[in-house]
Every structure is written in structure tokens, then in C-alpha cells.
Amino acid sequence: HHYPREFCPHCWSEDVTWERASGRATLYTWSVVHRNDLPPFGARTPYVAAVVDLEEGPRMMTEVVECGEGDLRVGMALEVAFREEGEEAAEGAVAVPVFRPRSSS
């Protein structure tokens, strides 16, 4: 399941563990955001807010990058990329998963 939590959202069991994901997904749906007043999103408009189905099953919200909005198709193959966010200071930056069209290799 995604988003990560300390219990199973289906049976409420606390017997959950982290599992490595392949980084492959398919596009379920998307919306092109042309206006967002919240930092840091306003500087990125327009951007593609999307829902993807991970190959392992969970569905997650994300952003599609490196793809023109006219090229987006439901079911298109995607792969994970990571964008560094936040300050490089004591807290450290975080790597945010975003998705791009899957390369043919």
C-alpha cells in the first residue's frame, strides 16, 4: 500500500514491512496544473500532477516530468526519477520520486 503507514489499511494489522519497488509504473490519470500559489510549486507551473500504478500494485500521486502534455497517454510506461528538494543544511535535502517516460533500453 502507499502511502507508507504503520498498519495495513485493509486488515489493520501492524505486521507491515518496507518493500523495494522496481521504479516502473504506468500512468493512470493526470492533470496539468497551470496555477499554484504555494511555494515551491508556483515556480514550476505548468506541471503534470499524476496518479501512477506502480508495477508492484500500489497507486501513488506524483509528477510526470520530461514529457510534453500532448504526449501523455493512459497506460503509458513510466520510470522513476528523483528530484532533490529542500535545503542542503543540517536537515538535508530529500529525494522526491517523480516519473518520466520509460526509456526503451
Instruction: Provide the pLDDT confidence category of residue 104 given band limits of 50, 70 and 90.
Output: confident
How does residue 97 score in pLDDT terms, banded at 50, 70 and 90? very high
In this prediction, residues 40-66 reach a mean pLDDT of: 94
Going along the chain, which residue ranges are E strands? 24-33, 47-54, 59-64, 77-85, 94-101
**Which pLDDT value is given to residue 88?**
61
pLDDT at 85 over 90: no
What is the rounded distance in angstroms from the CA atom of residue 105 to the CA atom of residue 48? 24
pLDDT band at 31 (very low <50, low <70, confident <90, very high): very high
> What is the rounded CA–CA span in Å between residue 77 and residue 73?
9
Please name each of the domains of the chain with its CATH number. Answer: 24-82+92-101 (2.40.50)
Which residues, in sequence order, are bridge partners of residue 63? Answer: 49
